[in-house]
Amino acid sequence: MADKFYLTTAIDYVNGAPHIGHAYEKIMADVIIRQKRQILDDVYFLTGTDEHGIKIQKTSAKNNMTPQEFCDMNFSKFEAEWKLLEIDYDQIIRTSNPKHKKIVQKIFQKLCDKGDIYKHSYTGLYCSGCESFLNQRDLTEDGLCPDHLVKPEEVKEENYFFRLSKYKERIAEHIKTHPNFIQPAYRANEILNQLENIEDISVSRSKSSVSWGIDVLNDDSQIIYVWVDALSNYITALGFDFENPEELYKKYWPANVHLIGKDIIKFHSIYWIAILMALDLPLPETIFGHGWITIDETKMSKSLGNVIAPRDILKEYNLEHPDAFRYFMMSAAPYGKDGNYSDKDFKEKVNADLANNIGNLLNRSLNMLVKYFDGEIKEEFKTPSSCEIAKSAEETKQKVLSHFEKYEIAEAIGEIVDFSNSVNKYVTENAPWTLAKENKMSECAQVLYNILEAMRYISVMLYPMCPNISKDIMTQLSMPLNFKYDTLEWGKLNIGKITEKEKIKPVFLRIDSEFATDKKKEN
């Protein structure tokens, strides 16, 4: 699996417009993928939308639309939001796609033929928010769904059930023998505990209750329920088929990582894995359950009116590209934990790191290069890879790579910021302006070379979060826009005249700065 990398996200339910909770996961996925592309040539990124179920059926009716029209309308909003945030996916799958539906029907029928799906009369507690049946023990003390805080309705139906309990021992054994299977690792015990009391699950609904979904073959009374439908997108998108799977499937499955929210890790690490086992298909390498993003330390809620769309943040701060927002979101939550968005934290973080620290470091250094050396880097400016700043750059590179291997993005960002802080300290301690004043031009040239070469390292390491800022840095250094890690070898900075006074511009304007305010007025 080392030669390829296949990442999937959860598919978003299109019952409403995208918000920053959706964006957090998609940005994280995009950052991981961009970083993998810096190392590997063969990478595939799948995202998508979940378009069936009772909520869409009811909401579309309220809006005097067919379910498909409603899905088409909201899908376009998700598609536009990801374009705005520069989410560079390879494919976005829709579960209303005819090709997906056809393969899901085959999967369902295969499980029926094998005896792993059976029909059963059932009375259960159904939460429409989760679109899931809940056990009494899953509810709060007040008998409410713990996620939606509403009382489930009692539903009596004859549905098809999947023999989930048949696979619980195999799943438990797989979790115990594959320490990287569930990440963060501490979530594995939660899943093992849930497995102990696992029961067979409903995988269809009566059409009298839900009509918007995929028909069960050979049974006009039933539609296929979310688990076989939505979860199968990870293989149907690649062209899985029992008889003649497409090359994409043969090339990329199994997935290297399913990136999902912590609230649906049970469904992926138990339900989905059992389905794959029943189909005799390979299992994904890792299921990573990330935390949530709160707003001013409060969980997002329509009733509270604190649901924020990413495009509104970009518009409010007059951001020409999404780098600052992407950067903040990836800094906001440590590995697997929840994070928080507030306007105050956003402004302070991006101003400190992107404008004051990294941006100002490049700007000052290039201006000194123009002032003292007419913007030219000469061969004799070069310093050996044994110098302290070169060793620090290499150590930082290795730390960033190590963090990304474990999906520790906020921690990787911390290493980049620490390194840029150390380079700023290096500038203060070596004071190239003083060296020039004392006519120590050789020492001055070497200091500036070290700073600018460090900036090239920062540009490559920062690229997954801030592709536009990284491109601006490379452009101002007169370097090719190549962000592969194999370019990060000390001493590769171009020789010759790399800049002129009029070409030096801030790579990131401080939010609420005089310049940014003027740009806002212009618009």
Q: Which of 300, 253, 306, 299 is nearest to 280 (CA)?
A: 253
Is the peptide bond prior to 98 cis by the omega test (within 30 degrees of 0)? no
Dist CA 257 CA 208 (whole Å)? 37
3-state secondary structure at position 93: strand
Is 22 tagged catalytic?
yes
Is 19 tagged catalytic?
yes
Q: From residue 226, how far is each of 38, 203, 493 by CA, in Å?
A: 36, 7, 53
Conformation bin of residue 478: beta by default, left when phi > 0, alpha when psi is -120 to 50 = left
Question: With the C-alpha atoms ordered 260, 265, 268, 269, is the resulting torsion angle positive or negative?
Answer: positive
User: What's CA 91's distance to the chain center, in Å?
Assistant: 14
Active-site entry in 130, 258, 321, 444: 130
Active-site entry in 148, 425, 484, 505: 148
Active-site entry in 120, 176, 299, 315: 299
CB 293 within 8 A of CB 333: yes
Is the peptide bond prior to 310 cis by the omega test (within 30 degrees of 0)? no
Residue 149: exposure state from Cβ atoms within 10 A (0-12, 13-18, ≥19): exposed
Half-sphere exposure in the Cβ direction for 330 (13 Å, CA): 28
The two most distant CA atoms of the chain are separated, in Å, by 90
Is 130 tagged catalytic?
yes
Active-site entry in 19, 100, 290, 403: 19
Q: Which two tokens stand for residue 378?
A: 């000469």
Active-site entry in 62, 302, 344, 521: 302
Is 299 tagged catalytic?
yes
Bridge partners for 8 per DSSP: 46, 258
3-state secondary structure at position 405: helix
Strands (E), 348-456: 376-377
Is 145 tagged catalytic?
yes
Name the residue type at position 517.
T
Hey, how many other C-beta atoms are within 10 angstroms of the C-beta on 271? 22
Q: Which of 271, 283, 281, 284 is nearest to 110 (CA)?
A: 281
Contacts with 349 (C-beta within 8 Å, 6 or more apart), sequence order:
327, 328, 331
Would you name the residues annotated as active-site residues?
19, 22, 127, 130, 145, 148, 299, 302
